[in-house]
């Protein structure tokens, strides 16, 4: 496809195809570019995992990776995102991977017929995080062999979470039962169409997947941040040893990371057997290879 900006673009079958290709890459599949291909990673918000794993995916596919530093770019002189992309396209970049604080920053760009560069959304504000969603689906698929029929709980700072929005949509498309929990003031009623909001303690023992979310201090208002107490949060909504005891024996814990250790999950449980947090990071490289491959195929570069 030309771009991957939102998980809404993908049918269940298309998502499964991308996950299968990611699994093939994980098993060692190699590809050969038809022509030289160039990627640029434009991150206007901080990132460790997404940026590094897109870079790794680009290099593993044989792409050339060009440097972009948002802080020293001409965006700081007022240049628009459109002009930035139009410029790097003319210079020869084939795919732009973009993270931006503005929700749906991509909408005008993908609708503009003058812009041919491929766009992979690496996260927009509280909107979408399609590559994180697909790596989460891949991690679930690896554990259970399917997603359909699983009970998945999304717990925590749902309101500010692009992961919650993308995952709720794709989990529903793939036939999972979605539930939500966490502080009620951080729920987004628009997500009720995917599943019910309930009590964390009551839901926990019945779940196959517990997708905990980072408390996004950078998106909380000043008063919400000063009112936040991490001990209270951990006591009510954190993964602790006693809560692990109540989970199904094969249930898994996902977290997009970075993790606030001791808040969303206790420090010593981040790498416990139920936790797939570092597996998610590994799978991120292969999912991003699959996403980039689909854009490269559309551009007849693969
Ligand atoms: N999960 C995730 O998007 O992590 P980064 O912000 O480090 O990219």
Give 105-148 pLDDT, tens digit per residue. 999 999 999 999 999 999 999 999 999 999 999 999 999 999 99
Reply yes or no on whether the pLDDT at 217 is more than 80: yes
Cβ atoms of 120 and 96 closer than 8 Å: yes
**Residues 76-112: tens digit of each pLDDT:** 999 999 999 999 999 999 999 999 999 999 999 999 9
Instruction: Give the burial class of 190: count Cβ atoms within 10 A of its Cβ; 0-12 exposed, 13-18 middle, 19 or more buried.
Output: exposed
**Residues 41-82: tens digit of each pLDDT:** 999 999 999 999 999 999 999 999 998 999 999 999 999 999
Distance from residue 114's CA to the centre of ligand 1 (Å): 31
Reply yes or no on whether the pLDDT at 263 is more than 70: yes
Distance CA 191, CA 119 (A): 26
Q: Which residues are annotated as a binding site?
A: 49-50, 77, 99, 129, 132, 162, 214, 257-258
Reply yes or no on whether the pLDDT at 223 is more than 70: no
Structure-block tokens of residue 240 = 């602790």
- Mean pLDDT, all residues of the chain: 97
Cβ atoms of 117 and 93 closer than 8 Å: yes
Least trusted range by pLDDT, from 15-29, 124-138, 207-221:
207-221
Q: Rounded to whole angstroms, what are the CA distances from 281 to 51, 71, 95, 293?
A: 11, 26, 22, 19
Distance from residue 113's CA to the centre of ligand 1 (Å): 30
Give me the mean pLDDT over the 224-239 stretch: 90
pLDDT range class, residue 13, cuts 50, 70, 90: very high
- The predicted pLDDT at position 218 comes to 80
Reply yes or no on whether the pLDDT at 219 is more than 90: no
Give me the mean pLDDT over the 28-50 stretch: 98
**Residues 161-174: tens digit of each pLDDT:** 999 999 999 999 99
Helical spans, DSSP H, in the chain: 12-26, 49-60, 81-91, 107-111, 130-144, 162-173, 200-203, 222-227, 230-237, 241-246, 277-298
* Domains located in the chain, CATH noted: 7-128+282-298 (3.40.50.1370), 130-278 (3.40.50.1370)
As a whole number of Å, the CA-based R_g of the chain is 19
Distance from residue 269's CA to the centre of ligand 1 (Å): 20
Q: pTM to 2 decimals?
A: 0.97
Q: Choose one of 44, 132, 161 to mutate for the ligand 1 pocket test, by most ligand atoms within 8 angstroms of C-beta.
A: 132
258: cis peptide before it, omega within 30°? yes
Q: Choose one of 133, 258, 260, 276 to mutate for the ligand 1 pocket test, by most ligand atoms within 8 angstroms of C-beta.
A: 258
Residues with a CB atom less than 6 Å from ligand 1: 47-51, 123, 132, 256-258
Structure-block tokens of residue 123 = 């996260």
Distance from residue 258's CA to the centre of ligand 1 (Å): 6
């Amino acid at each position: 496809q030309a771009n991957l900006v939102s998980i809404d673009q993908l049918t269940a079958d298309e998502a499964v195809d991308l996950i299968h290709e990611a699994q093939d890459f994980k098993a060692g599949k190699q590809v050969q570019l038809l022509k030289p291909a160039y990627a640029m990673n434009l991150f206007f918000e901080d990132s460790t995992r997404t940026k590094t794993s897109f870079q790794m995916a680009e290099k593993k596919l044989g792409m050339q990776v060009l440097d972009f530093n948002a802080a020293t770019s001409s965006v700081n002189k007022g240049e628009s995102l459109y002009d930035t992309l139009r410029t790097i396209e003319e210079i020869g970049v084939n795919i732009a991977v973009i993270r931006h604080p503005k929700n749906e920053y991509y909408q005008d760009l993908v609708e503009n017929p003058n812009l041919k560069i491929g766009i992979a959304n690496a996260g927009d504000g509280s909107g979408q995080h399609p590559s994180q969603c697909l790596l989460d689906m891949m991690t679930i698929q690896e554990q259970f062999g399917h997603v359909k029929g699983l009970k998945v709980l999304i717990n925590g700072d749902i309101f500010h979470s692009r992961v919650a929005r993308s995952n709720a949509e794709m989990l529903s498309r793939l036939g999972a039962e979605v539930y939500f929990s966490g502080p009620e003031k951080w729920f987004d009623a628009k997500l009720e169409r995917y599943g019910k909001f309930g009590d964390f303690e009551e839901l926990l023992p019945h779940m196959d997947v517990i997708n905990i979310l980072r408390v996004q201090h950078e998106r909380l208002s000043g008063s919400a941040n000063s009112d936040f107490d991490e001990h209270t949060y951990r006591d009510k909504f954190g993964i602790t040893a006693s809560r692990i005891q109540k989970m199904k024996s094969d249930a898994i814990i996902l977290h997009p990371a970075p993790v606030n250790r001791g808040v969303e999950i206790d420090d010593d449980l981040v790498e416990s057997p139920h936790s797939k947090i570092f597996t998610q990071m590994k799978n991120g490289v292969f999912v991003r290879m699959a996403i980039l491959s689909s854009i490269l195929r559309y551009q007849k570069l693969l």
